[in-house]
Structure 1
Amino acid sequence: MDRFVILSGCSGGGKSTLLEALRRRGHHVIEEPGRRIVTQELDSGGSALPWVDATAFVRRAIDVSLADRKAAAKLPGIIFFDRGLIDAASALQKLTGEPALTTYGQSHRYNGHVFLTPPWPEIYVGDRERRHDVSEAITEYDRLTVDYPALGYQVHILPKIGVEERADFVRSVLGLS
């Protein structure tokens, strides 16, 4: 759907901060499925965690992402997604070899412009939900820089600049400025 814009890339690269800036500018934002799942699993003692059962985690992320798309379709205007279905499908394909990118990536389209945060070790911070180190985050980023273009998306690597300038960049590429 052309109104659905993906912000993805390297974990700890400033996605959440950028999404908050876009929210302050009046855009709808869909929070990252993975963080929501991890929080829920940690709070309930569940095991669908990337460091416990990665396959169960990414399957849940696919389900949550599909539900997010359905809910977002009812919202007006441009909707920014913090990661989402393509990221989860990419991870599932890496883990299991299932053709998840083809299965989900072709039938559930987003805006043709995808924005990726590059590795930015200077601002990377682990926390309760983000337990992997920056090298794992970079490995994921490298996979996504291949998978999004393979699905026909035009990838824009976000410059390492202030958050308001990043928001201006995203809006400019989308013709919203």
Structure 2
Amino acid sequence: MQENQQKIVLIGGPGTGKTTVLNALKDKGFCCFDEVSRAVTLKAQKDGIEQLFLTEPLLFSEMLLKGREEQFLNANKRKEQIVFFDRGIPDVHAYMNYFKTAYPDLYLEKSKAYKYTKIFHFSPWEEIHTTDNERYETFEESLTIDQFLIEAYSDLGYNIINVPFGAIEERTNFILNSLSCDL
């Protein structure tokens, strides 16, 4: 593990551009961990469950928590000084709060145990919001989910940095420029 490794999380409601910027960071050679929920959703669909989160939210969330914890631990084994994540562990309980689904204390305990360095927030942006096979939330739902995400990270004491709207390269450079001050 790189000493003082920066673990950077991209958060925001569905369809806000996080994954697109993460892919741009990958193209620049950065170590990036993809969103876990897409893989969980696709596997469930192959098993005949169209929307696992809607039919079994706790099972879905357990799978997400496990996947995000594995990503965090895998990042610890990496030599890179900066590691990016498309969503973090606190996203899991934020979504559970959004859906008013009870969950074990373990979710919050894991969010407190695994600490990230910086949180970059992507606000809902109607112009770029789309739905697809794994992202079914409307723009209005994205707005509400976004508030639950902000609350979850704020309650854990994180300083949230808002990424301005703009072209992919502008958003990517904003993040990198924000980090260069710390290097």
| 1:20-52 CA distance string (max 9 Å, x none) | 111111101101011111011112224771222
- Measured in 1, the distance between the counterparts of 2:172 and 2:6 equals 16
Whether 1:86 aligns to 2:124 is no
What residue is the counterpart of 1:109 in the other structure?
115
Give, in whole Å, the separation in 2 of the partners of 1:58 and 1:2: 27
CA distance in 1, matches of 2:74, 2:22: 18
Q: Secondary structure at the match of 1:105?
A: helix
AA paired with 2:87? R
* Counterpart residue identity of residue 119, structure 1: P
1:1-177 equivalences under 5 Å are 2-46=5-49, 49-77=52-80, 78-93=82-97, 94-96=100-102, 98-100=104-106, 102-111=108-117, 113-175=118-180
| Uncovered stretches (5+) of structure 2, i.e. residues with no partner | none
The alpha-carbon deviation at position 66 of structure 1 amounts to 0.9
Structure 1: unaligned runs, 5 residues or longer: none
Structure 1 residue 141: Cα displacement: 0.4
The percent of aligned pairs where both chains have the same amino acid is 27
- What is the alpha-carbon distance in structure 1 between the residues aligned to residue 79 and residue 89 of structure 2? 20
Aligned-partner Cα distance in 2 for 1:72–1:45: 32
Q: What SS does the aligned partner of 1:106 have?
A: helix
Secondary structure, aligned partner of 1:58: helix
**What is the TM-score with the length of structure 2 in the denominator?**
0.88
CA-to-partner distance for each residue in 1:41-87, whole Å, 9 max, x for gaps?
A: 11222477122212211111001111111222222221110013110
In the TM superposition, residue 90 of structure 1 has moved relative to its aligned partner by: 2.3
Equivalences, count: 176
CA apart distance, 1:102: 3.4
Residue type of the alignment partner of 2:89: L
Q: Residue 111 of structure 2 aligns to which amino acid in structure 1?
A: G
The C-alpha deviation readout for 1:84-124, integer Å capped at 9, x for no partner, is 3110132235521544563122111011x201110111111
Over 6 Å off, 4+ runs:
none
Structure-1 separation of matches of 2:43 and 2:153? 28
CA RMSD of aligned residues (A): 2.0
